[in-house]
Structure 1
Amino acid sequence: MESLTKNYKDEETLNKLVQKAFKDVYIDKVTELTEGYFNVAYLIALSNGNEVILKIAPPSSAKVMRYEKNIMKAEVEVMRLVRKNTKVPVPEILFYDDTHSICDSDYFFMTKLDGSSYSSIKDSLTEDERKVIEFKLGQYNRKINEITNDRFGYFAQEGKQNTNWSETFYNFVSDLINDSIDIGTELPMESNNILSIVKSNLYICDDVLQPKLVHWDLWDGNVFVDNGEIVGIIDFERAIWGDPLMEYYFSNLAFSAEFNSGYNPIKLDDKAKTRRILYNIYLFLVMTIECDYRHNESGQREWAKDMLKQELDKLL
């Protein structure tokens, strides 16, 4: 998908990046991968016969949301963390460069995954095949969430982390509201009213005491499947030390009994259900506001704004 944040490079520059990472190796073929929304990504066939994935962060001139700053470094560190501490299938980071000596932004190479994104093949699978995949995804998601920390917050922004989840989550929402003001996003109600609704329900976040690693963006497009098995999970750049209930498959967009069974989820009592509404509000705020930062005219903005209104109304 086209986006103002995608930092496209010509083949000459891409060859320089390849040679810095892999020395006496050159590009045979470059194919842009278009499913992503934020970073530009390329599938690169190398002269030594290998294939790798290259991701390049947005240029420094790109206007991004507050929570999107420094997230490529976070993606690299989280993928390494998950590979080290779990058996969750995650691509290997082959080379990461944040020197900006050749490229004007961070970039990294990682191993290429076999298969296809779950989102691209889901409709072609049988119900039983989907059940097997989603059960396993639940197990993998739980393993990710079992990695813990002593502070809450976005992985990419250590300076804004703290020991209180309620305060951290409120800061998440407040940053988004400021993003919307900066770019002029039209929200379904006044910004102060949104903040007031969130603040009046924050007490239920006090039940969350242990910061856990949350992928947060684990939708079907970030799950790779080959021959009926999950072979890779990608895009950890928006990872959070927070409440596992924030995960995508616990949202009202992707309920799956099989995922829940594989995950062995937290019991959703009334407080947990309210926390999930707060997390839905956060999700739909992001999906509404990001359209203006990327000039995304796909129809996502109006859909997300409507979903945001529905979730806010639940807490009035």
Structure 2
Amino acid sequence: MESITKNRQSLDTLRAMVARAYGDDHVPSRTGRWVHELRHGWFNVAYRIRLRDGRHVVLKIAPARDVDVMTYERGAMATELAAIELIRARTTVPVPDVDFVDASGELGGAGWFFMPYVDAENYGVIRSALSACEQDRLDGALGRATRELNTITGEAFGPLAGPGVAGWRACFLSMVEAVLADGSRRGVDLDYARLRALFAAHADCLDEVTEPRFVEWDLWDSNVLTRDGEIVCIIDHERAFWGDPLIEAGFVATRLPSFGNPAAFLRGYGKPALTPGEHDRRRLYNLHLTLVMLIETAYRGVTGPRHLSWVRARLAEALALF
């Protein structure tokens, strides 16, 4: 996907990054096709690179430091690296290894890191070609993986690196306010006063959440790599935080059917039904999510009317739940 946040680099800079990470002996020759951009993401740029010894690795580069991003996206690469470390240390959910990290910005004007290439298929890409049974199996596995991620507990609600707050209500409402402020700053056409009042009027249900849990939040099928009908890797962890597990992507469709059928995910997660309070929280989370989806288009440089129309329709559905 195209986005102005993608910090693409010249072949010479990519070769310099390889040299810094793996040594001069592994730098690809100047001839032949040794680099391929992986285009499914919408924030960072990622390249698949063949090293001189034949190994394939992935290079992920953060947006340039002078590119304006949404408030919650600041420091996203550091969040991803912290999330990978947490997941690897405290769960069995498969995540990428990290070969090398450079946060200096000396090359490419931003942070970047290398990881081994995982030879697998992207579930979001191949989903429509799978049978209903195969989709059901993978959705159930995604539910189980999400549940295991949510077993990781934290000390406070908020960013993985802190600072956090003691209550989920204060944390979530601050997340909402940051998104609305991002939209206002870019002139996104919304009734901001009405939205703020709506969140405030329905915030009591947030007090049911008392324990900070690791939340991946962006765990859609497009961030799942599969092989032979099994999940072999979860990727793109830059949106993780300490929060309420019910805010996870797999629960979106419980109140917004346009996002698919959540039955297999819920079965895998071990949560066949939501309580009334959870339904109320999910309404708030869906409204927050669809606002993010709309406002981020201004930060990605998306102008296509088809996508904007689709996002506006999802926001209208989320508002209709109230």
- Residue 256 of structure 2 is matched in structure 1 by none
5 Å-filtered alignment, 1:229-308, equals 229-252=230-253, 253-265=259-271, 267-298=273-304, 299-308=306-315
1:165, 1:266 → 2: CA distance? Answer: 24
- Equivalent residue pairs, number: 311
Out of 164, 178, 181, the position equivalent to 1:178 is 181
1:75 aligned residue: 80
Is the CA contact 1:52–1:110 (under 8 Å) kept in the aligned structure 2? yes
- CA-to-partner distance for each residue in 1:224-280, whole Å, 9 max, x for gaps? 111111111101100021011111110022433221111112741111101001000
SS of equivalent to 2:99 = strand
Q: Is 2:145 aligned against 1:127? A: no
Tell me the distance in 2 between the aligned counterparts of 1:186 and 1:266: 38
Q: How does 1:37-76 map to 2 (within 5 A)?
A: 37-76=42-81
Secondary structure (helix, strand or coil) at the match of 1:195 reads helix
- Secondary structure of the 1:274 match is helix
Q: Is the 8 A contact 1:144 1:215 kept in 2?
A: yes
| Structure 1 stretches lacking a partner, 5+ long | none
> SS of 1:205's equivalent?
helix
Q: For the aligned residues, what is the CA RMSD? A: 1.3
Question: TM-score of the superposition, structure 2-length normalised?
Answer: 0.94
**Distance in structure 2 (CA, Å) of the matches to 1:183 and 1:201:** 27
TM-score by length of 1: 0.95
Contact in 2 for aligned 1:288/1:302 (Cα 8 Å): no
1:72-151 aligned within 5 A: 72-151=77-156
**Alpha-carbon separation, structure 1, partners of 2:109 and 2:290:** 31
1:33-91 per-position Cα deviation (integer Å, ceiling 9, x unaligned): 11110000000000011111100000011110111100101101101110111111111
Q: Which amino acid aligns with 1:18?
A: V
Amino acid at match of 2:235: I
Distance 1:99 1:48 in 2: 27
